[in-house]
Amino acid sequence: MNKFFLDLGKQPLANNYLNYFKKKQTKYNLKLFFNTKSKMVSISKRIPSKIMFNNKYPYRSSMSLTMKKSFNKLSNEIKKKFNPKIILEIGSNDGALISNFPKNKVIGVEPCKNLAKITKKEGFKTFNDYWNLKLSKKIKSIYNQIDLIYSANTLTHISNLDEVFKSISYLLSKNGILIIEDPSLLECLKKNSYDQFYNEHIYLFSAISVKKLLEKFKLEIFDIKNLSTHGGSLRYYIKRKNNKNLKIKKNVQKQIRKEIIHGLDKIKTYRKFSKNIKKSKIDLLKILNKVKKENKKIIGYGATAKVVTVLNYCNIDNRFISYFTDITPEKINSFIPGKNIKILKYKKNILKKYDYVFLGAWNFKKEIFNKEKKFIKEGGKFITHIPKPRII
């Protein structure tokens, strides 16, 4: 049974950047639910994939050094530990992972034409299509079975999870490995990072919910890793239940125990989270109002999908934040979805004219603080809402 716990108001598609401010941009109710049976946390309104993931999807995995390093490390681990003949990535984006492998060993699946074009141009086999049973059958007819399927920050964006895993199970070889990674629900609750939810981000996985989901497909988690990417993610290593060559590591049960201790299997935990988020909104607006009264200027750093949720939920526009800055070519000179805040191209001294920087890409705090040492040294301050609104 689905139980409602938080209303994040009307939200536009978080990746729908327009080069003008459209006051009446389409918005959808963003409400969060916890399913008491499957233990899955999800948003209620499902928008068709074709509307969300199109020819102009602006998110680029290769834009951050942190992500590039993480993919490079994983590719070395895959080569060393599993040495698969062929690897398939679902949601290959601009090739941040597949570019670490020889071209004859990897296949990308990417529904966004602009992104698939990038990897195709570099010579990587890329299926410009949505992940479903039809595509899985097509790939099987060409390549037969696949030894290793990988997907990062993608499966949580697909509404029909049953079809997702059915299609994976259909294509995965007998002793094949599935590796998926996505933001961790436990980390989201600990950090009050309600901005992990936006229209495109339908689910937030926990080890508890993934374990339950996999049972239907006779798959199971045999290893789990905590990652710092995307504000705290979990990487699940999955195998077929009847593959006895791989032992289930103790850390799988350890993660599940940790999640149970934090109450991730109970609705009351989410009700408490909801209270924290309502307070987070009040406290962030208090800080922004104070800064505004002092006539200080704020620029936002990192026009993330996450920040769209924050700005639309808290009703923050250019009265508070003059501009955002971002390095992604697809986002530059457009507006934050739903808000009249323009995104400027990142330049070395761009922060100089501002007193405060609102950390949109809080998940890259370390990388950004490192990059902006000069601004910090000269007295520049950051504002963040994670884990609680404050000035740093």
Interface residue with ligand TYD among 371, 376, 380, 381 (CB under 6 A) is 371
- Residue number with CB closer to ligand TYD (59 or 273): 59
Q: CB of 322 within 8 A of CB of 354? A: yes
Nearest distance from residue 280's CB to ligand TYD, in Å?
A: 17
Residue 367 makes contact with ligand TYD by CB under 6 A: yes
Nearest distance from residue 59's CB to ligand TYD, in Å?
A: 5
Stretch in the footprint of ligand TYD (CB under 6 A) among 163-171, 172-180, 184-192, 363-371 = 363-371
Interface residue with ligand TYD among 126, 304, 312, 334 (CB under 6 A) is 304
**Residues touching ligand TYD: how many (CB under 6 A)?**
19
Distance of CA 13 to the CA centre of its chain: 14
Stretch in the footprint of ligand TYD (CB under 6 A) among 135-143, 166-174, 184-192, 296-304 = 296-304
- Residue number with CB closer to ligand TYD (284 or 332): 332
Residue 369 makes contact with ligand TYD by CB under 6 A: no
Stretch in the footprint of ligand TYD (CB under 6 A) among 2-10, 205-213, 258-266, 299-307 = 299-307
Q: Which of residues 231-270 bind ligand TYD (CB under 6 A)?
A: none
Q: Which of residues 324-353 bind ligand TYD (CB under 6 A)?
A: 326-328, 331, 346
Stretch in the footprint of ligand TYD (CB under 6 A) among 91-99, 120-128, 137-145, 356-364 = 356-364
Interface residue with ligand TYD among 306, 339, 342, 385 (CB under 6 A) is 306
Nearest distance from residue 340's CB to ligand TYD, in Å?
A: 19
Nearest distance from residue 151's CB to ligand TYD, in Å?
A: 15
Q: Which of residues 51-80 bind ligand TYD (CB under 6 A)?
A: 59, 63-64
CA distance linking residue 101 with residue 365, whole number of Å = 29
CA distance linking residue 93 with residue 112, whole number of Å = 8
Q: CB of 176 within 8 A of CB of 144? A: no
Residue 368 makes contact with ligand TYD by CB under 6 A: yes
Nearest distance from residue 327's CB to ligand TYD, in Å?
A: 4
- Residue number with CB closer to ligand TYD (63 or 252): 63
Q: CB of 290 within 8 A of CB of 282? A: no
Q: How far, CA to CA in Å, does 224 sit from each of 112, 161, 227, 262, 279?
A: 29, 20, 10, 18, 33
Residue ranges binding ligand TYD (CB under 6 A) = 59, 63-64, 302-306, 326-328, 331, 346, 361, 363-364, 367-368, 371
